[in-house]
Amino acid sequence: MPNQNQFYKVVNKKKGLVQDYGYPEDGKEITLYPWHGGDNQRWMFVPLNNNYYAIVNKKKGLVQDYGYPEDGKEITLYPWHGGDNQQWFLHDLEGGYKKITNKKKGLVQDYGYPEDGKEITLYPWHGGDNQRWLPEAVESFNLPSVPTYPVPAVPQYGNINDVLPEFTDKVTTQYTLAPFIAVDDPYYSDGQQQIKTNPYYLYIRKQYWKRVASHTLAPNETHKYIQTTGMTQEDQNLVSKTVGHTIGVDVGFQFGKAEKSHSSASLSYQYTTQLATHESHTTTQMTEETKELSIFNSNPYIVAWTKYVLVSEYSVQRSDGTLVREPWTVTDPNTTSSSYYPPTANLLDN
């Protein structure tokens, strides 16, 4: 299978010519042409869910697309939207060749002409050499990465007079690679420069513990406090615009619920697995929620208490380390931890 960090020429077995996009404008047909090494003949294979790929042209930053209801029409180059007509499956054949099948139509890439320079079409599989394609790597690039660390421990008391910190250190716990076609980066007006300088972005999750409340309780004392969790609407808008998904009330990633409904839906498995989260099971978006809660000391002695909640901060980073937009934070109301002194004390929190 193609590597993420390489561009390929895609050679037709029958003709020995390569896939080529020779037009300045979008939406024209992909043709077969002798290899000359230009960016219009170099293709990046972006892995998607279920072993499908987006096939991206290096010169244009656009993807191979089949936009017709009928068979036998030309394959074109079009901006990524994530539909099934832009997803391709590579079936292994002998000699490293591939059968390249369109997800929507179930038909294969085909070159049916005796002469050069004509369009590549979509056609039922018959096994001829004109339907067999060899991806050959012609260029490599470095994939970005960052070191990851475990979530810091919740701060603990050493004595009853300790004041525990407001935050723990913020550490990178997970990251994934977001392909440029699924990242809205305001620095670029289109994909032509984006694919050359940022073919993949770092989609980073940082985590830390945030202090919710702290109090020293006398025996039989009840202390009321405010807990704010969830996610602001401003942050929901940030994640939706930047990476094409939203966050559900169950803290899972929602795909296909926002305006950019398909831009990252076909990356859902990679994103949720590598960022150690899950796909949301609800259509309800997470919102910011503030509750008044109380803590009760039923012990016959004084207890020092501090409560923390786990915060996840997400950001998308370019290859030069700059951020595409401000980070967004998700505070999970179900992931809290309290510290006590004495450590064996246990208070009723509700």
Task: State the chain's mean pLDDT as an integer.
Answer: 96
> The dihedral of CA 209, 336, 229, 349: what is its sign?
negative
Grade residue 258 by pLDDT with cuts at 50, 70 and 90. Answer: very low
Q: Provide the pLDDT for residue 127.
A: 97
* Pair 17, 35: CB distance under 8 Å: yes
> What's the average model confidence in pLDDT over 156-171?
98
Q: What are residue 119's DSSP bridge partners?
A: 31
Evaluate if pTM is beyond 0.85.
yes
Residue 10 carries which side chain, given as an amino acid letter? V
> What's the average model confidence in pLDDT over 6-14?
98
Q: Provide the pLDDT for residue 263.
A: 82
Domain ranges within the chain, ordered by starting residue: 6-140, 171-349
Read off the pLDDT of residues 319-345 as tens digits, 9 standing for 90 and up. 999 999 999 999 999 999 999 999 999
* pLDDT reading at 259 higher than 70: no
Read off the pLDDT of residues 117-146 as tens digits, 9 standing for 90 and up. 999 999 999 999 999 999 999 999 999 999
Structure tokens at 21: 């996009």
Q: Provide the pLDDT for residue 156.
A: 98
Q: What are residue 28's DSSP bridge partners?
A: none
What share of the chain has pLDDT > 70, as a percent? 98
Structure tokens at 128: 């001829």
Structure tokens at 174: 């997970």
* pLDDT reading at 260 higher than 70: no
Q: What SS3 state is found at 280?
A: coil
Residue 226 carries which side chain, given as an amino acid letter? I
Q: What are residue 279's DSSP bridge partners?
A: 253
* pLDDT reading at 219 higher than 90: yes
> What's the average model confidence in pLDDT over 279-299?
96
Sort strands 43-47 and 200-217 into parallel, antiparallel or unpaired. unpaired
> What's the average model confidence in pLDDT over 74-93?
97
Q: Provide the pLDDT for residue 350.
A: 85
HEC per residue, 110-124: ECCCCCCCCECEEEC
Cα–chain-centroid distance for residue 66? Answer: 24
Grade residue 262 by pLDDT with cuts at 50, 70 and 90. Answer: low
Read off the pLDDT of residues 172-203 as tens digits, 9 standing for 90 and up. 999 999 999 999 999 999 899 999 999 999 99
Q: Provide the pLDDT for residue 160.
A: 97
Q: Provide the pLDDT for residue 257.
A: 52
Read off the pLDDT of residues 29-43 as tens digits, 9 standing for 90 and up. 999 999 999 999 999
Structure tokens at 159: 């004595």
Q: Provide the pLDDT for residue 195.
A: 98
Helices and strands in the chain, H and E counts: 3, 21
> What's the average model confidence in pLDDT over 42-46?
99
Cα–Cα dist 84/2, whole Å: 20
Q: Provide the pLDDT for residue 256.
A: 77
Task: For the domain made up of 6-140, give the CATH fold.
Answer: Trefoil (Acidic Fibroblast Growth Factor, subunit A) (2.80.10)
